Structure formats: C-alpha cells, structure tokens
Amino acid sequence: MRMILTVLLSFWTGLATAGELEDEIIGYMDFATEAEGLILPEQVTEDIFNDVFFVDTRSLAHYQAGTINGAVHIEWREVPRRLDELPTTGIFKRTRNPIYLSDVLVLLGLILRFDAVLSLLFVPVLVWLLERRFIVPEENSLRRRFSEEYAGYISRVRRWV
C-alpha cells in the first residue's frame, strides 16, 4: 500500500509546476503536526546510517535534547522557506535522483524475489519513463532555479549512480 501511495504521489507531484508544488507543501504544513512522518531511531538499522542524510524536523528543544548523530536540524515549519537550497550532501553526493534510483532498485529486488525474470524487460521501460516524465523536467527546473550552482553539481554527480 505504501508503495502504491508513493507512486501515486510521485505521479501527482510530477504533474505540478514548481510553484504549485511549493504551494502544496506550504498547504500541507498548515495542517500537519510535528509528529507526522516521524522515523524513530529503532526503525533505522545501523548499516544505513553512513549512506543516509537525516533531517530532524522536530522543534529545536527536541533536537537539542537528542537526535541522530549527523542529523541536520530544519524545524518542520521552516521547510517551505528552505526550498531555495540545493541539496548536495549525503546521498546527493552520489546520485542526483536517490528516490528514482531506489524505485528502480525496489523493482529489481521484487523481480528477483518473486523469480519474475521476464519482468526484467520492464526495468528499462521504468528508467525511460522516469527520465522522460520526471527527471528531465525536474533538471530543467533546477537549471533555471540554481543556474551555475546546479551546473557545477551535475558536473560532479551522475544522474543515476
């Protein structure tokens, strides 16, 4: 069910322009509470700590009381004001599209897990769809928004891996 919601959300956000998406994020923040979307430390295994960029969105008091080592603090209502920052650290040092990459890896894992070898034919189709429908338009938007900073970023970091 979560995967279906993630895919639907990805398609929905792909239809929105940057301004519309920003408005939706701000609208969500208007009714969301601090506790929504919390990931507890016991939910994250140690083997992924070095490859994940954590953003602690709790209040400053909660953050100062204790957080995951290396987490960056951005109070949850600050997120809309931080949309002008280009993420280039953490997983974004290795790939420009960590969510799309993980979508493809999840599909590959499911294909292998369920021994659906013929379904491997859908992997290049998914990659093509993700690039044409989402990645290229997002990159064009980021080029316009961050110009020289983004040009330097794409010269250092590959699209996929």
The tens digit of pLDDT for each residue in 48-68 reads 666 667 778 888 898 889 887
Of 143, 29, 22, which Cα lies nearest the Cα of 86? Answer: 143
Q: What is the DSSP letter of 58?
A: S
pLDDT at 123 over 90: yes
Could you report the per-residue pLDDT of 8-20, keeping only the tens digit for each?
Answer: 344 444 445 556 6
**pLDDT at 142 > cutoff 70:** yes
Whole-structure pTM value: 0.59
Domain ranges of the chain: 32-85, 86-161
In the structure encoding, which two tokens stand for residue 82, read together? 């931080």
Q: What pLDDT score was predicted for residue 131?
A: 96
Nearest Cα neighbor of 25 from 9, 47, 40, 44 is: 9
Q: Rounded mean pLDDT of 43-52?
A: 68
Residue 156 has what pLDDT?
96
Percent of the chain with pLDDT over 90: 43
Segment 95-115 mean pLDDT: 93
Burial of 64 (0-12, 13-18, 19+ CB in 10 A): exposed
Alpha-carbon span 37 to 61, nearest angstrom: 18
Q: Which residues of 129-152 are buried (b: 16+ CB within 10 A; e: fewer)?
A: ebbeebbeebbeebeeeeeeebee
Long-range CB contacts for residues 137-141, cutoff 8 Å, separation at least 24: 137/14, 139/96, 141/18
**Residue scoring higher pLDDT (137 or 67):** 137
**What is the pLDDT averaged over residues 82-88?**
87
